[in-house]
Structure 1
Amino acid sequence: MGDVAKLYEPVVPELTEEILHESIDARTESLATLRELGPPDLVHLLKQSTRDSRKQTGVYHHVTGVDASSSASLAPYINTLAYGDHGPNAVSRTVAGVFCCYNAFSRLDMRVHVSYPGTVESYCVDERGDKRKASDELWLETYLCSVLRAYSYADDGSGSSIRKIVGVRRFNPVTKTETEHRFLNAAEQLFFRGWQLGSDSIVQVPTNVSNHLTTGLLKYLDTTGRYASGINLFEKLRTQSVEVASLLAKVLFMGSEEVLGVKILYESLQQTPMDYVMLDTQAEYLLKKAQKADTPEVKEERLKMALGCADRSTIAAPSEFSTWARLAQVYVAMEDWENALTTLNSCPMFTYQDKDSPMMPEPRDFHLPIMAETRLDEIDSELESRYSEQVDPSLLGLRAASYRGTFKKAYGILTEMTAKIGWDQLLKIRSNVFVMEDEYRTEKQEATQAAQPKRTPSMDGLRGTPDPTTNGDEGSDDEGEKSAEAATTLAPNGEGSGVERPSSTADPEEVKADTTENGTHADDHLSKLNTKRLCERWLDSLFMVLYEDLRVYTIWRTQMAQYRAQQMQYKKSAEEWEILGSLAERLQHFDEAAEAYRACLSLRFSPIALAGVLRGFEKAKSTRDTVAALMRLVTWQYRRYSQFSPELLRTIRILIEDEGAMKVRSIVQTRGLPQPVIDLTHGWTALFTNFHSNGTDS
């Protein structure tokens, strides 16, 4: 009991129900709609007033990372909450508690009900709300799902995940070698059922090696650096199925065992030459090696090999986004811009499937206490000023910031091309590759006229004067005005943005309809259209969104230059600087992004801005600045009840491997921050001492 109490800190967020048990009822009703790993675990407490035993209140919160291997491991968590209420000045006491943890394998909600004093009942609830008996096999599935969910719902350090759901406690589910063994053992037993959990939104069809289980395993190994454990696991699984070789190779590459990884991929592809994940893994590896090549000749050779693998993977899995995206990335690296754009246009796009979120009724009250240990003046400034800031509407309307899944990946490839060749050149390549609207209409008009019989006065007399709209050009004047307007250079507020808006491409549906309507005779005259492709609507939309990003970015940089020339201060609110930093980073202007993030931090604390600055410190190998940023982000996370962020832990691990644990601890100690903040950071670094990671014995 003492160890559990130490693990789970006493300060707990509480959301108060309007009606008793409505949170549990809402969770039960939502079970049939869950499609992913399920929402975070729900903990519900029934509290009774110490003055009036008839007055009862229901409070709840969500949590991830609690050991869900059995009812015996969940009941102590409820006990820590219940016994925390039993102080001499307590106004209420806990009379019952329920812990709900979703089993995504069997689509059941596992529940542990604790009544005080002393009874514990465990059962599960199906999608219809019926009770079932909880077995050891179901608990094994539930435990594995809970660990994967902890990684899936973990924050990346910027606070983006934390702000999506109010009052979620996040704990690290694997903190020592004993719990790692339990996790990997469960993963081994259930590995070939992993496809039942679904997959990331960029994967069309979950497979044995592309699903939420394998994503979680690779995330764990990348966070902790426990590559030897991963290699042992995948070596055993490869004896049962050769396709696991792709995962084994990925872990070998992570652990710098490149020669063995290449050998395993080569041998495995002899047995399954059309395994698209193996081919994609090869292409990814060769692409990274090409980017690190010493000479242009070596780079070219490696890119040619990557091209062969990527091209073959699209043949093996033509309906998967990742294969086409990898091929487009290879073409970008080869500076074959037309093929890159054509390949990007071929990517199959999927609707983004977000994580399962709790669907709860509006709580009557929120109690979100702040621990004294997280008091830090600069972090306190965030809450004081965040909601009083003015934001330019043009910054709030940037659609690219909301992209997720395949659209975010495709947009990243498009911005990479723009960063390398510029917007004007990208538009030229676009018009070379795709049929533009004005071009299509000109060709269609010429083809229609050529297909018509020669008019004579007698024919006109017989048929009557032709209706101008029957030639398929109805509304052409309006369309011409739209094209002319689209091609102009926008100059908001009298400032020339210097970014030309892309003109529209031809509508694929309209081209198809015209082909059917005019027959094959007109096709003979569409010479240009026969050598070009139709731009998919989603890619056409991406160009428009990219134009908006570039327009806002260009205005910002132009105004900044003008203010500097006049030795005037360029003023923006903290949130505006935060948005501009994200915009610059999205467009791959990293120095400008860091400049905006620093301007934001000079006004108030922002985890988004500080996480952006941290990425720059990591690249520059600036150890002291990295540690300083980490300490503040760890403290902000703790204030939001989070003791777990894989990205921050990975950064700490790399620091320890590069500099040694003793040096990192010394830097933490000398940063001049309050002792509780120092202790929090030491707590995060202690994980790698438990794992005996590289650098911890120095």
Structure 2
Amino acid sequence: MPAPAVPEISEEVIHEAIDARTETLVSLRELGPPDLVHLLKQNLRNTGKHTGVYHHVTGVDASSSASLAAYINTLTYKEHGQAPTHKIVEGIYCCYNAFSRLDMRVHVTIPGTVEAFCVDERGEKRKATDELWLETYLCSVLRAYSYADDGSGDTIRKIMGVRRFNPVTNTETEHRFLSAAETLFFRGWQLGSDSVVQVPNNVSNHLTSGLLKYFHTTGRFTSAINLFEKLRTHNVEVSSLLAKVLFMGNEEVQGVRVLYQALKESPMDYVMLDAQAEFLIKKAMIADTPAQKEERLKMALGCADLSTIAAPSEFGTWARLAQVYVALEDWENALTILNSCPMFTYQDKDAPIMPEPKEVYLPTLPETRLDEIDSEPESRFSEQVDPSLLNLRAASYRGTFKLAYKILTEMTAKIGWDQLLKIRSSVFVMEDEYRTDRQDDASHAPPSNRNPSTDGLRGSPDPSTNGDHETEDGEDKKKSESDPASQSLANGDGDESVEKPTHTIDPGEVKADGDTVATTDEHLSRLNNKRLCERWLDSLFMVLYEDLRVYTIWRTQMAQYRAQSMQYKKSAEEWEILGALAERLQHHDEAAEAYRACLAARFSPKALSGILRAFLRALQKQETTRDTIGAVIRLVTWQYRWYSEFSPQLLHTIRVLIEEQGAVKVRSIIQSTSLPQSVLDLTHHYAALCATFRSSGTDG
């Protein structure tokens, strides 16, 4: 397998990339940015002229200074299609150690010496020790998995010029990785955690997330069980991780036993309770009878309810409880619990902040040449997109807000928008009823002395008290005036009309009204059986309305065009956005339809990833196997085109295909595809990894 091409980003001032990295060390909060490789190139004709270039990389062995120096050495032998005009005379490799918050650096002079040192947050040099290299190695493996792309290309496009390698390619490197993880396991909380976890602990942090992602990708569950069995002897909390990998490996009975025994010792461990609830929900979804389903969900309800008591400030426990209520079809309690979820600001992965480059060179390997992929950048540049599609706020949701929105869309998919609004008005205090009740109370209230506070409250309600709804109202009026499809929906001409939700009352305003004489005990008793809707949830309803409005217009217009035997035209990017919209709203068939329309216009890794998810949902149908493999081949090639030879999601997909169909059949289907052999070899490389790890189905 050839290594991915080497992108080169040229500097205006030599070493300014290194200086910029040093300045940002103090602001790093997560695992750190990808490794930085800086090269000093000398002009062969003018030896006094030097140029500074750099690129980023993940997955390189960072266990010692020698391994990082070896990587720089491989760049000096990089082949060029033409006679070289420069030679590399110096290289610096920077790799962040998130445990000790140090940047490990290796300075290589060619030919000459290798110097290893580390730089702290103040930019001061320190000595690099073996303990620091062990921490650095573990961080580099976790970063490789954290910064890997899922196939959609979203991660690849975030940072320019990143080479991505697989950090664990055989059982020997796996042993080194798991040994380092075992040594540093109980310091994992120092690395922080995913954005949905409020407080990192021994079993909820970036180290455990990376370990679980590795085992899920490779299927190395025996190694996982051995690791967590050893760690469990030091701390019973690790039982939750042991149970999770047992469930992954279909050892469900043993996993339940592990949780049962561990909860005897630690009955209020919220991670174990949550693992139980998650397992019971999954079993309920495949129950043979409705009575069996209800029984399992009631058991899940007990576990989820107890986990919220054990960890009331964690989003995951409340979200799980809301999921149980959704599965039980107890919609009022589902909304009430969703409203109780503690929401956190999303903390994105650490990304490099670099100065404006002088030049950017992004070469293409001949092995990745494929006409449909090569034409993508030019096609994207010339496309027009409807502004209403670009302004869908749900597409930008991350972390807790994304998960909460998913629960809300799941409810909408099951009961419909109109029913959801009815349940919402029965659970929460709505603005119109609050105003009406307050006016009634005020008319029966005894006269009181006037003051500026009560005068202000007697005025007309400010529609923007619960967020930026006034702006939204105005925008919607403009849209409805300019959009005939929107007008037809408002008049009931469409297949379904989407009613805009009324606002809930602002909790802050209730507190202000509580001091007025007009508020009586009778008035309070009428509102006591309802809750105040949190501002973020009220905003989610407005965002969901906008999603549903655009979706309904799209489906109505398509139906009208089909009835008239006319072609419904959209640009490729518009189809891509519509596919993501339908997928958000749980309309998977319509999402696949939009993604196919996008791919018919041009290549799109995001659309192809969406199609791949649809194929995987129907994998038990034999006819989808060939289509699934065709999608994987193109995604692997596109990723390799942009310097990524490793995607955990694509490796996992290949492993699942091999488990279902057998390695011989999968390799045969890959080989029978009418694509260049160099392209097929890239996917064969993923299949060879499964054989190296002796995945199920590879011995056939």
- Please confirm whether the aligned pair reaches a TM-score higher than 0.5, indicating the same fold: yes
Answer yes or no: is 1:474 the counterpart of 2:459. Answer: yes
**For 1:656, which of 655, 658, 669 is the aligned residue?**
658
**For 1:577, which of 575, 578, 595 is the aligned residue?**
575
Alpha-carbon distance change, 166 to 350 in structure 1, aligned in 2, over 3 angstroms: same
Q: Determine the C-alpha separation between the residues in 1 that align with 2:86 and 2:350.
A: 33
Q: Determine the C-alpha separation between the residues in 1 that align with 2:684 and 2:216.
A: 21
The C-alpha deviation readout for 1:102-128, integer Å capped at 9, x for no partner, is 000000000011001121000000000
Alpha-carbon distance change, 313 to 92 in structure 1, aligned in 2, over 3 angstroms: same
> Mapping of 1:98-177 within 5 angstroms?
98-177=92-171
The C-alpha deviation readout for 1:413-467, integer Å capped at 9, x for no partner, is 000000000000000000000000111111222223333249xxxxxxxx8x999
**For 2:75, which of 81, 87, 102 is the aligned residue?**
81
One-letter amino acid of the counterpart of residue 135, structure 2? E
Alpha-carbon distance change, 276 to 112 in structure 1, aligned in 2, over 3 angstroms: same
Query: Partner of 1:472: helix, strand, or coil?
Result: helix
Give the drift of 1:319. 0.2
Q: Determine the C-alpha separation between the residues in 2 that align with 1:517 and 1:647.
A: 58
Q: Give the corresponding residue for 1:184.
A: 178
Give the drift of 1:607. 0.3
Q: Determine the C-alpha separation between the residues in 1 that align with 2:595 and 2:471.
A: 38
* TM-score (ref. length: structure 2): 0.95
One-letter amino acid of the counterpart of residue 309, structure 2? I
Give the drift of 1:695. 1.0
Q: Determine the C-alpha separation between the residues in 1 that align with 2:688 and 2:193.
A: 32
Answer yes or no: is 1:507 the counterpart of 2:500. Answer: no
Q: Give the corresponding residue for 1:496.
A: 489
One-letter amino acid of the counterpart of residue 455, structure 2? T
Alpha-carbon distance change, 512 to 572 in structure 1, aligned in 2, over 3 angstroms: same
Answer yes or no: is 1:212 the counterpart of 2:206. Answer: yes
- 8 Å CA contact 1:45–1:58 kept in 2: the answer is yes
Q: Determine the C-alpha separation between the residues in 1 that align with 2:644 and 2:451.
A: 73
Query: Partner of 2:489: helix, strand, or coil?
Result: coil
Alpha-carbon distance change, 181 to 566 in structure 1, aligned in 2, over 3 angstroms: same
**For 2:252, which of 235, 251, 258 is the aligned residue?**
258
One-letter amino acid of the counterpart of residue 651, structure 1? T
- 8 Å CA contact 1:443–1:526 kept in 2: the answer is no
The C-alpha deviation readout for 1:198-230, integer Å capped at 9, x for no partner, is 000000000000000000000000000000000
The C-alpha deviation readout for 1:70-123, integer Å capped at 9, x for no partner, is 011111100011232799921111110000000000000000110011210000
State the superposition RMSD in angstroms.
2.1
Q: Give the corresponding residue for 2:515.
A: 516
Give the drift of 1:479. 8.4
Q: Determine the C-alpha separation between the residues in 2 that align with 1:374 and 1:153.
A: 22
- 8 Å CA contact 2:270–2:307 kept in 1: the answer is yes
**For 1:352, which of 346, 357, 361 is the aligned residue?**
346
- 8 Å CA contact 1:448–1:471 kept in 2: the answer is no
Alpha-carbon distance change, 220 to 476 in structure 1, aligned in 2, over 3 angstroms: closer
Alpha-carbon distance change, 467 to 130 in structure 1, aligned in 2, over 3 angstroms: closer
Q: Determine the C-alpha separation between the residues in 2 that align with 1:485 and 1:242.
A: 53
Q: Determine the C-alpha separation between the residues in 2 that align with 1:477 and 1:63.
A: 52
**For 2:411, which of 413, 417, 426 is the aligned residue?**
417
Query: Partner of 1:122: helix, strand, or coil?
Result: strand
The C-alpha deviation readout for 1:519-551, integer Å capped at 9, x for no partner, is 8x6243233311100000000000000000000
Give the drift of 1:475. 2.5
- 8 Å CA contact 1:108–1:126 kept in 2: the answer is yes
Give the drift of 1:476. 3.9
Alpha-carbon distance change, 140 to 482 in structure 1, aligned in 2, over 3 angstroms: closer
Give the drift of 1:371. 0.8
Q: Give the corresponding residue for 1:377.
A: 371
Q: Determine the C-alpha separation between the residues in 2 that align with 1:277 and 1:468.
A: 48
- 8 Å CA contact 2:454–2:516 kept in 1: the answer is no
Give the drift of 1:680. 0.9
Query: Partner of 1:504: helix, strand, or coil?
Result: coil
Give the drift of 1:8. 3.8
> Mapping of 1:554-633 within 5 angstroms?
554-621=552-619, 622-633=624-635
Q: Give the corresponding residue for 1:3.
A: none
Q: Determine the C-alpha separation between the residues in 2 that align with 1:406 and 1:596.
A: 27
Query: Partner of 2:39: helix, strand, or coil?
Result: strand
Q: Determine the C-alpha separation between the residues in 2 that align with 1:505 and 1:366.
A: 51
Give the drift of 1:694. 1.1
- 8 Å CA contact 2:32–2:96 kept in 1: the answer is yes
**For 2:243, which of 246, 249, 258 is the aligned residue?**
249
**For 1:310, which of 292, 304, 314 is the aligned residue?**
304
Give the drift of 1:356. 0.2
Q: Would you say how many aligned residue pairs link Structure 1 and Structure 2? A: 682
Q: Give the corresponding residue for 1:96.
A: 90
Query: Partner of 2:176: helix, strand, or coil?
Result: helix
- 8 Å CA contact 1:68–1:139 kept in 2: the answer is yes
Q: Determine the C-alpha separation between the residues in 2 that align with 1:594 and 1:87.
A: 41
- 8 Å CA contact 2:145–2:648 kept in 1: the answer is yes
Q: Determine the C-alpha separation between the residues in 2 that align with 1:83 and 1:674.
A: 27
Give the drift of 1:478. 7.2
Q: Determine the C-alpha separation between the residues in 2 that align with 1:12 and 1:545.
A: 42
**For 1:443, which of 430, 437, 447 is the aligned residue?**
437
Q: Determine the C-alpha separation between the residues in 2 that align with 1:566 and 1:269.
A: 63
Identity of aligned residues (%): 72
Q: Determine the C-alpha separation between the residues in 1 that align with 2:480 and 2:268.
A: 49
Query: Partner of 2:154: helix, strand, or coil?
Result: coil
Q: Give the corresponding residue for 1:645.
A: 647
- 8 Å CA contact 2:314–2:342 kept in 1: the answer is yes
Give the drift of 1:293. 0.4
* TM-score (ref. length: structure 1): 0.95
Give the drift of 1:468. 12
Alpha-carbon distance change, 467 to 693 in structure 1, aligned in 2, over 3 angstroms: closer
Give the drift of 1:697. 1.2
**For 2:692, which of 690, 693, 698 is the aligned residue?**
690
Q: Determine the C-alpha separation between the residues in 2 that align with 1:155 and 1:241.
A: 33
One-letter amino acid of the counterpart of residue 656, structure 1? I
The C-alpha deviation readout for 1:302-336, integer Å capped at 9, x for no partner, is 00000000000000000000000000000000000
> Mapping of 1:268-417 within 5 angstroms?
268-417=262-411
The C-alpha deviation readout for 1:142-163, integer Å capped at 9, x for no partner, is 0000000000000000100000
The C-alpha deviation readout for 1:39-78, integer Å capped at 9, x for no partner, is 0000000001111111000000000000000011111100
- Comparing 569-578 with 372-381, greater Cα deviation is found at 372-381
Alpha-carbon distance change, 476 to 76 in structure 1, aligned in 2, over 3 angstroms: closer
